[in-house]
Structure 1
């Protein structure tokens, strides 16, 4: 299961978070842990260079894209390789929506579309859509024309 997708700015403020199957009382722990993990390890990392961590029997894959940090947390069948695929789809969708690696301002300007993309990529803890063109069609908010 994909437990969390979290996007934070360079100061560690959380811009978007999606938790699946994580009790509310544990979410604060995960927020602070992931932000601290990013603050400790993401300085000087190139865009889309993946880093991997393991904590409490779950896997964490994280990266930097422009001015934002992206964290994906999974367990069981979502090991490092599956999380790497998920983060590649998320970064591709972010670049597609923003037109380039996002600054914090550009990210917040496109916040609604980014949230729609995340909802199409991850649904109830499962990686749902990985095709960039399909995600673009789904976030147009128009009725589907093909079945």
Structure 2
């Protein structure tokens, strides 16, 4: 199960978060842990270079895209390889929406569209869509065409 997808700025402020199957009392712990993990390890990392961590029997894959840090947390069947696929789909969609690796301002300008993409990619803790073209069609809020 995908437990969390978070986007944070370079100062560690959360821009977008999606939790699934994480009790409300544990979410603050995860927010602070992920931001601290990024502050310790993401300095000097290139865009889209993936880093992997393990904490409390869950896997964490995280990276930097422009001025934004992206964290994906999973357990069970969502090991580091599955999370790498999820984060690549998220990165691809964010770059597609923004047109380039986003600055914090550009990310916030495109916030609504990014949230729509994220909702199409991850649904109730599972990877729903990995096809960039299908995600683009679904976020236009028009019915998808069948092939």
- On whether the aligned pair clears a TM of 0.5, the verdict is yes
Whole-angstrom CA distance in 2 between matches of 1:69 and 1:35? 9
Judge which range, 12-21 or 135-144, deviates more.
Answer: 135-144
* Structure 1 residue 37 displacement after superposition: 0.2
Q: Which residue of 1 aligns with 2:116?
A: 116
* Structure 1 residue 144 displacement after superposition: 2.6
Whole-angstrom CA distance in 2 between matches of 1:140 and 1:21? 28
* Structure 1 residue 143 displacement after superposition: 2.3
Partner SS state of residue 4, structure 1: strand
The C-alpha deviation readout for 1:53-78, integer Å capped at 9, x for no partner, is 00000000000000000000000000
CA RMSD of aligned residues (A): 0.7
Q: 5+ unaligned residues in a row in structure 2: which ranges?
A: none
Q: What are the within-5 Å matches in structure 2 for residues 1-147 of structure 1?
A: 1-146=1-146
- The count of aligned residue pairs is 147
The C-alpha deviation readout for 1:92-122, integer Å capped at 9, x for no partner, is 0000000000000000000000000000000
Q: 5+ unaligned residues in a row in structure 1: which ranges?
A: none
Runs of at least 4 residues off by over 2 Å: 143-147
* Structure 1 residue 142 displacement after superposition: 1.4
Judge which range, 137-146 or 23-32, deviates more.
Answer: 137-146
Whole-angstrom CA distance in 1 between matches of 2:80 and 2:33? 18
Partner SS state of residue 47, structure 1: coil
* Structure 1 residue 128 displacement after superposition: 0.6
Whole-angstrom CA distance in 2 between matches of 1:113 and 1:66? 17
Whole-angstrom CA distance in 1 between matches of 2:130 and 2:121? 7
Whole-angstrom CA distance in 2 between matches of 1:52 and 1:146? 37
* Structure 1 residue 145 displacement after superposition: 3.1
* Structure 1 residue 146 displacement after superposition: 2.5
TM-score by length of 2: 0.99
The C-alpha deviation readout for 1:12-32, integer Å capped at 9, x for no partner, is 000000000000000000000
